[in-house]
Homo-oligomer: A and B are copies of this chain.
Amino acid sequence: MTSMTIGRLAAAAEVGVETVRYYQRRGLLAVPEPTHGQVRHYGDGALARLRFIRRAQQLGFSLDEIADLLGLDEHTDRNAARALAKEKLAQIDERMARLSAMRNALTELVDCCEHSSTAQPCPILHTLAHPDERQNAAYSKSIAAG
């Protein structure tokens, strides 16, 4: 099956037809000349390229970054590829750190809410409203650090 219409190509890559066209507009995928008539046909190269794009997305790369990756050569551009991957890794670490700070703050607020007297106002809402009175140190500590 070396020749498919856009619909079959999209199905094979498990993306929508509109997505394929979108990638073409973004310059990630070539638009072949129409064979006999108006309809364009795609080969295995196009399918491989679509799969490359989807896998790179799963690793966290944006479409712009994927355009860069697609421009690299397996044999001559190892350094460039590794640099992009390391940069992405750093971005992921940053995002994880931010999420981790949120997680710490929220966890402490929830714990506090679960173990404080019912007579008191809700620690979660109260801390959001008046963090300066920090009954629970969680919020200030975790967030100020991040």
Q: Which residues of A contact B (CB under 8 A)?
A: 48, 51-52, 55-56, 58-60, 69, 72-75, 77-78, 81-82, 85-86, 88-89, 92-93, 95-96, 99-100, 102-103, 105-107, 109-110, 113-114, 118, 121-122, 124-126, 128-131, 139, 143
CA distance A100 to B92 in the complex (A): 8
CA distance A130 to B52 in the complex (A): 8
Contact A74 B121 (CB under 8 A): yes
Contact B81 A139 (CB under 8 A): no
How distant is A101 from chain B, measured CB to nearest CB, in Å?
A: 8
Contact B103 A96 (CB under 8 A): yes
CA distance A139 to B58 in the complex (A): 10
